[in-house]
């Protein structure tokens, strides 16, 4: 056991931080740190900058244009990006369909799609959940019926993040209705410009609309867009769940929020003094900072497991639960920093071009949006309750 | 960074775990035979350099040993003597003190207790009203010391006393090594919640030669703080061991105890409680490792923040896991028959040793 950070790791962190500081466009940084809305073009611009540096795909092997970094380097890079205020790299291409294609795709699929993920020429979204299939994903009913060399797809996907900006969607579809539900599912790539694909935004608590319903009516999909074998899509879905499980910890986001919390608590006042000097509030900051430190060490332990080639099971569920709880707690504290100015909320002021006035100023206005939006993290990616079921099963073996 | 034990570390873990679990319980009382065996195993020399006959090990080895002790509910003056006092003597002790005392710790013939807290001072190491007045080549000490763990079985006391400054100044605290049986030293020994022993000590005109000063006059606070951080790191590891064992006892109970025709572990309410306990343990484990990694950090603020963070988390996790283990055992958890209660009580005590969660949250906040 060696609990010291190696000199190489420290050097890597410094390099990553220096790069992000030098190359992250100031306007994007201001939006991210100010909790303003980040636009499609901002995500793409940052991804292109990373791509030009050769860092477009931190999690991919070199042969596919990735960095070949190990898990520890990836989390460090991710942390530095988050702390500096970079927009997150969209996971749908890089961490989801990309690794799936690398593992299960045909040569033709790989050469067609992988380069366009790196440059973000394609914006991918994920077609998993359905109105009747949430935590119980295997009960999905979107049908894909084979007719000669196409599948005809009918059904509805929901909670599809950024479908409004996407031109491709990867879907789990039902290709067989008999037998075990898990054994009749296939993994299909669908061009969203195909006739019959319709995206309908879902308005969320913050009055934004980054999640959508996706309706599929007689959508014709070439058979060459099937990934892996027909009816083996569940295997791919499980592969994806087991892939880069440490991402789920959200350590970068935790740290960014914590930095922000301390900043805001220094600038807001109570009884004429900075809020951070108020013992009652300070204790709450300390508690959550301690949580972040513990979370960070838990993450390093899981990475070390992964690197030793050991299976990661309930550990990832713990990372998911803690990461989401910490983010939510900090978001709540951040909003409390605003005192009564937590009340007024102008959604349109989240737009960087907004020229009007907000009651408490633009930076406080964004706190509510963040608080409301982050309620999702304990729900998506397997609700925290489902994660607890998994932990209990691992611990109890019942 | 690498969290896998080396071959030697794995061997140490296996040996100490097996040995500690086979040892009969001493019911919290000091056992001379067991202390001798600790010396024979070399464990008393973990934090003593090779120069004085010790092993000069890293904090990881102490973590391994304390975790095994935690699992076995091993209550001994090990932590105060072999971790805190040994570290304190190594950094603050004079050449004579080191060469006289450290080999005796290793050999098992010397135990020390830390008389560093005072009534009314809670966990504050600077809140010292005990005075030490110099007269030529000696000092006279006057005052009271609170909750001196294992004071009953120690031959030497490390006493903090004020040689200058005001009641709560860190400057002006001087450390003394005092014979526990010296004239004027009176111990009242009380049992603790978990059946160990702690002494209330009064010092009335206690004569001490100047050679008994440990470290520099008026500068005892910082070395003491660091040595107690070593103790905190050790306690964190002990707590993790105790929590692990408590979890094993609890899950075994949930698998075998049947109600409504099935093992009670089938009920989701209890499953989620188990998951919460597991999360608490893993957080505590992370913090025990962080404590070991940071306890010798050259920058005081970084070290202090890490150790307070660890202790605060350990306190929270330990209380939660202990309380829930009792809860999940139902009525049986309330009885003195099961060891569950013993582990619960030990975890309760660990929270209150060298600063509880509230205290360490405050210390962390001061450095925020």
A4 interfaces chain B, CB cutoff of 8 Å: yes
Instruction: Read off the pLDDT of residues B201-243 as tens digits, 9 standing for 90 and up.
Output: 999 999 999 999 999 999 999 999 999 999 999 999 999 999 9
Instruction: Read off the pLDDT of residues A320-354 as tens digits, 9 standing for 90 and up.
Output: 999 999 999 999 999 999 999 999 999 999 999 99
Distance separating alpha carbons of residues A187 and A128, to the nearest angstrom: 10
Q: How confident is the model at residue A194 (pLDDT cuts 50, 70, 90)?
A: very high
CATH code of the domain occupying A7-89 = 1.10.540.10
Cβ contact, residue pair B247, A395, below 8 Å: yes
Q: Domains in chain B, please, with CATH? A: 7-110 (1.10.540.10), 113-218 (2.40.110.10), 222-366 (1.20.140.10)
Domain A124-231: CATH class, spelled out: mainly beta
Cβ contact, residue pair A308, B312, below 8 Å: no
Cβ contact, residue pair B1, A294, below 8 Å: no
Instruction: Read off the pLDDT of residues B273-324 as tens digits, 9 standing for 90 and up.
Output: 999 999 999 999 999 999 999 999 999 999 999 999 999 999 999 999 999 9
Distance from CA of A391 to the nearest CA of B (A): 6
Contacts with A314 from chain B: Cβ below 8 Å: 278
Which residue did the predictor score with more confidence, A159 or A361? A159
pLDDT at B48: 98
pLDDT at A244: 67
- Active-site residue numbers of A? 244
Q: How many helices (DSSP H) and strands (DSSP E) are in chain B?
A: 11, 10
Cβ contact, residue pair B266, A304, below 8 Å: no
pLDDT at B29: 79
Contacts with A274 from chain B: Cβ below 8 Å: none
Cβ contact, residue pair B278, A398, below 8 Å: no
Distance from CA of A2 to the nearest CA of B (A): 5
Q: Which residues of B touch A (CB under 8 A)?
A: 1-6, 9, 60, 247, 251, 254-255, 263, 265-266, 268, 271-272, 274-276, 278-279, 282-283, 285-287, 289-290, 292-293, 306, 309, 312-313, 361-362, 364-365, 368
Q: Where in chain A is the domain with CATH 2.40.110.10?
A: 124-231
Instruction: Say if residues B189 and B152 touch (Cβ distance below 8 Å).
Output: yes
Distance separating alpha carbons of residues A283 and A234, to the nearest angstrom: 46
Cβ contact, residue pair B60, A391, below 8 Å: no
Instruction: Read off the pLDDT of residues A144-172 as tens digits, 9 standing for 90 and up.
Output: 999 999 999 999 999 999 999 999 999 99
CA distances from B181 to B77, B133, B177, B178, B201 (A): 18, 20, 12, 8, 11
User: Which residues make Cβ contacts (< 8 Å) with residue A294, sequence separation at least 6?
Assistant: A322, B283, B286, B287, B290, B309, B313
Q: CA geometry: angle at A369 spanning A367 and A373, to 5°? A: 120
Distance from CA of B92 to the nearest CA of A (A): 26
Q: Which helix (H) or strand (E) holds A118?
A: helix A107-118
Closest CA to B71 of B33, B5, B111, B23: B23
pTM of the entire structure? 0.94
Instruction: Read off the pLDDT of residues A55-93 as tens digits, 9 standing for 90 and up.
Output: 999 999 999 999 999 888 999 999 999 999 999 999 999
Which residue did the predictor score with more confidence, A361 or B321? B321
Contacts with A385 from chain B: Cβ below 8 Å: 272
Instruction: Read off the pLDDT of residues A213-265 as tens digits, 9 standing for 90 and up.
Output: 999 999 999 999 999 999 999 999 988 877 767 788 999 999 999 999 999 99
Cβ contact, residue pair B286, A9, below 8 Å: no
CA distances from A74 to A56, A254, A295, A311, B45 (A): 12, 16, 16, 19, 40
Q: Which helix (H) or strand (E) holds B323?
A: helix B300-328
Residue in B276, B306, B368 nearest the CB of A282: B368
Q: Where in chain A is the domain with CATH 1.10.540.10?
A: 7-89
Q: Where in chain A is the domain with CATH 1.20.140.10?
A: 244-396
A322 interfaces chain B, CB cutoff of 8 Å: yes
Contacts with A287 from chain B: Cβ below 8 Å: 312, 361
Cβ contact, residue pair A286, B368, below 8 Å: yes
Instruction: Read off the pLDDT of residues B29-64 as tens digits, 9 standing for 90 and up.
Output: 789 999 999 999 999 999 999 999 999 999 999 999
Q: Please, how many CA atoms are within 13 Å of residue A134, restricted to the half-sphere of its CB? A: 8
In sequence order, which ranges of A119-268 are alpha helices (DSSP H)?
233-241, 251-267
The complex's ipTM works out to 0.94
User: Which residues make Cβ contacts (< 8 Å) with residue A352, sequence separation at least 6?
Assistant: A27, A30, A31, A36, A37
Closest CA to B116 of B84, B89, B74: B84
A135 interfaces chain B, CB cutoff of 8 Å: no
CA distances from B242 to A84, B74, B108, B295 (A): 40, 10, 25, 21
Residues 17-76, chain A, touching B (beta carbon < 8 A): 72
Cβ contact, residue pair A398, B266, below 8 Å: yes
Residue in B282, B289, B361 nearest the CB of A286: B361
Q: How confident is the model at residue A176 (pLDDT cuts 50, 70, 90)?
A: very high
From the candidate CATH numbers 1.20.140.10, 3.65.10.10, 1.20.120.1770, 3.40.630.30, the one assigned to the domain spanning A244-396: 1.20.140.10
Distance separating alpha carbons of residues A175 and B315, to the nearest angstrom: 53
Distance separating alpha carbons of residues B91 and B158, to the nearest angstrom: 14
Distance from CA of B62 to the nearest CA of A (A): 13
Instruction: Say if residues A289 and A320 touch (Cβ distance below 8 Å).
Output: no
Q: What are phi and psi of B41, to 5 degrees?
A: -75, -10
Q: Are strands B258-259 and B213-214 parallel, antiparallel or unpaired?
A: unpaired
Average pLDDT over residues B158-176: 97
- Using DSSP, state whether A27 is helix, strand or coil: helix
Q: What are phi and psi of B92, to 5 degrees?
A: -100, -20
Q: Are strands B173-179 and B213-214 parallel, antiparallel or unpaired?
A: antiparallel
């Amino acid at each position: 056991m060696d609990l010291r950070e190696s000199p190489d790791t420290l050097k890597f962190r410094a390099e990553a931080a220096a790069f992000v500081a030098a190359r992250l466009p100031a306007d994007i940084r201001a939006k991210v740190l100010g909790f303003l809305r980040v636009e499609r073009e901002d995500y793409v611009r940052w991804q292109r900058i990373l791509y030009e540096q050769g860092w477009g795909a931190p999690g991919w092997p070199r042969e596919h244009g990735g960095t070949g970094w190990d898990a520890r380097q990836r989390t460090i890079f991710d942390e530095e990006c988050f702390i500096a205020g970079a927009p997150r790299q969209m996971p749908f291409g890089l961490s989801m369909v990309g690794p799936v294609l690398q593992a299960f795709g045909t040569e033709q699929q790989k050469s067609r799609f992988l380069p366009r993920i790196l440059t973000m020429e394609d914006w991918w979204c994920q077609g998993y959940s359905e109105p009747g299939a949430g935590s119980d994903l295997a009960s999905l009913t979107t049908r894909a019926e084979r007719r000669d060399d196409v599948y005809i797809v009918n059904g509805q996907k929901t909670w599809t993040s950024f479908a409004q900006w996407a031109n491709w969607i990867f879907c789990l579809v039902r290709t067989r209705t008999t037998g075990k539900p898990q054994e009749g599912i296939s993994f299909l790539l669908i061009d969203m410009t195909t006739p019959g694909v319709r995206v309908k935004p879902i308005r969320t608590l913050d009055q934004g609309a980054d999640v959508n319903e996706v309706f599929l009516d007689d959508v014709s999909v070439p058979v060459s867009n099937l990934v892996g074998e027909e009816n083996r899509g569940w295997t791919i879905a499980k592969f994806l769940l087991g892939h880069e499980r440490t991402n789920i910890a959200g350590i970068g986001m935790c740290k960014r929020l914590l930095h922000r919390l301390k900043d805001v608590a220094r600038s807001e006042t109570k009884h004429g003094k900075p809020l951070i000097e108020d013992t009652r509030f300070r204790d709450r900051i300390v508690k959550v900072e301690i949580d972040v430190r513990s979370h960070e060490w838990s993450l390093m332990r899981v990475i070390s497991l992964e690197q030793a080639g050991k299976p990661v099971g309930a550990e990832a569920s713990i990372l998911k639960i803690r990461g989401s709880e910490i983010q939510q707690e900090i978001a709540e504290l951040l909003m409390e920093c605003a005192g009564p100015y937590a009340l007024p909320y102008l959604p349109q002021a989240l737009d960087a071009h907004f020229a009007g006035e907000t009651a408490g100023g633009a930076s406080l206005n964004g706190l509510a949006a963040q608080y409301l939006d982050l309620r999702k993290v304990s729900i998506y990616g397997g609700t925290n309750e489902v994660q607890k079921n998994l932990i209990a099963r691992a611990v109890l073996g019942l | 960074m690498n969290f896998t034990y080396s071959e030697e570390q794995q061997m140490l873990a296996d040996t100490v775990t097996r040995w500690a679990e086979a040892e009969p319980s001493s019911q919290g009382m000091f056992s001379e035979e067991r202390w001798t065996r600790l010396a024979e195993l070399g464990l008393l020399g973990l934090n003593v350099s090779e120069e004085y006959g010790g092993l000069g090990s890293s904090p990881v080895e102490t973590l391994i040993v304390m975790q095994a002790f935690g699992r076995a509910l091993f209550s001994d003056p090990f932590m105060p003597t072999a971790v805190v006092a040994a570290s304190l003597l190594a950094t603050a002790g004079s050449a004579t003190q080191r060469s006289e005392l450290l080999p005796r710790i290793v050999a098992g013939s010397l135990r020390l207790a830390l008389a560093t807290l005072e009534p009314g001072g809670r966990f504050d190491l600077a809140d010292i009203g005990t005075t030490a007045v110099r007269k030529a080549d000696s000092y006279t000490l006057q005052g009271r010391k609170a909750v001196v763990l294992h004071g009953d079985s120690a031959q030497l006391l490390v006493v903090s006393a004020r040689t200058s400054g005001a009641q709560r100044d860190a400057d002006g605290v001087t450390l003394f090594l005092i014979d526990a049986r010296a004239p004027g030293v009176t111990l009242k020994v009380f049992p603790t919640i978990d059946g160990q022993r702690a002494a209330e000590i009064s010092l009335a005109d206690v004569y001490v030669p100047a050679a008994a000063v440990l470290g520099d006059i008026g500068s005892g606070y910082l070395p003491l703080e660091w040595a107690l951080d070593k103790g905190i790191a050790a306690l964190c590891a002990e707590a993790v061991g105790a929590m692990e064992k408590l979890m094993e006892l609890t899950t075994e109970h949930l698998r075998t105890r049947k109600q409504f025709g099935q093992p009670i572990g089938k009920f989701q309410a209890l499953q989620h409680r188990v998951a919460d306990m597991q999360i608490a343990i893993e957080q505590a484990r992370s913090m025990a490792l962080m404590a070991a990694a940071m306890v010798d950090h050259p920058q005081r603020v970084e070290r202090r923040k890490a150790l307070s963070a660890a202790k605060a988390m350990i306190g929270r996790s330990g209380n939660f896991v202990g309380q829930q283990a009792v809860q999940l055992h139902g009525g049986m958890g309330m009885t003195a028959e099961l060891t569950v209660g013993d582990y619960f009580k030990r975890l309760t005590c660990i929270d209150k040793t060298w600063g509880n969660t509230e205290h360490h949250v405050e210390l962390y906040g001061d450095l925020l």
